[in-house]
Amino acid sequence: MIVLDKLCRNYGKNVAVSEVSAEIRKGEIVGLLGHNGAGKTTVMKILTGYLDPTRGTVTVDGLDVSTHRDAVQARIGYLPEQAPLYDDMLVQDYLLMMAELRGVPAEQRADAVRRAATATAIASRMLDPIGTLSKGLRQRVGIAQAIVHSPAVLVFDEPTNGLDPVQIQSIRALLKELGKTSTVILSTHILQEVEAVCDRVLVMIGGRLVADAPLRDFTTSRTIRLVLAAPSDDVARALAAVDGVVDVGAATLEPDGAVYRVTFGGERAPVPGILAAAAKAGWEVRAVAPEVRTLDMAFQELQNQQLRAAEAGVA
């Protein structure tokens, strides 16, 4: 449905986005992850037709954003980081105006606004001035204007930025619900946001797309934490014979014992084989279990890889 092909954007000599390519399929909830300044917002603005690329193309349903801007924007609902709200307008009047701007026929606007308000749980605030709403409710109004024309694609840039924990949970639940009927692209630097909402993750670092995979691939551990009462010289040799074991790290002494990190391949962690090898060798096992892996750990690894690659390039 959405294809980014070698997308580049320069601001003078500054390269904001470089050679970004990806395909986003219908019905996916995709997190565009990266630190501040990684190029996420620039990609969002190009995708939604608010900014032209320096090079490369973006197509939505086969339509090039640069040459079919109006047709593409009719398919997209967009919530920028700073929602385009007017404090002196009533919520209802604002949404009716946005429905008109989005091309909703006059006879269908009231129903379109009603559906958007119900979906975002702001139906009881329709006659309130936008300026009187809390930040969480303002975000909901911003989302309502993005979905009022029932777009096939929703693009949200930092939708929970600045919200309190209760508001964040509410917005996350809403995004997951919207993902049942639309393709959702969520740009954020908040890792927990991606873990809570997304099916797939694109990671940008320094303007480049450095990773693109299902969320489970980032959070699935391929390391077993083996804790022995005391270190042993034959651990690496003994575990190398266990089916599925790829590598055994050197022991680190921690308060609960000698810790070995065992890397494995395949879908299943070879814990039974490791325990059998331990029993045969006579080791006292205090703990053995796959390590918990978070998106934060995966992101840090990617950053470190990029840093090492940059340093090697300089050298």
Q: What is the CATH number of the domain that holds 230?
A: 3.30.70.100
Residue range of the domain that includes 283: 221-290
Determine the pLDDT at residue 35. 85
Mean pLDDT of the chain, nearest integer? 91
Are residues 158 and 189 located together in one domain of the fold?
yes
Identify whether the C-beta of residue 167 lies closer than 8 Å to the C-beta of residue 160.
yes
Amino acid letter at 89? M
What is the DSSP secondary structure assignment for residue 205, as one 8-state letter?
E
Are residues 74 and 21 located together in one domain of the fold?
yes
Determine the pLDDT at residue 192. 85
Determine the pLDDT at residue 59. 94
- The count of structural domains within the chain is 2
- Spatial separation of the C-alpha atoms in residues 265 and 189, rounded to whole Å: 30
Identify whether the C-beta of residue 200 lies closer than 8 Å to the C-beta of residue 215.
yes
CA angle 50, 54, 56 (to 5 degrees): 95
- Spatial separation of the C-alpha atoms in residues 113 and 96, rounded to whole Å: 6
Q: Which two tokens stand for residue 278?
A: 């331990």
Identify whether the C-beta of residue 27 lies closer than 8 Å to the C-beta of residue 183.
yes
Sign of CA dihedral 75, 186, 44, 209: negative
Regions of the chain short of the pLDDT cut 50? 315
- Spatial separation of the C-alpha atoms in residues 158 and 35, rounded to whole Å: 12
Of the three residues 192, 218, 244, the one that is the final residue of a domain is 218
pTM of the predicted model, to two decimals? Answer: 0.81
In a domain, 106, yes or no: yes
Determine the pLDDT at residue 314. 54
In a domain, 9, yes or no: yes
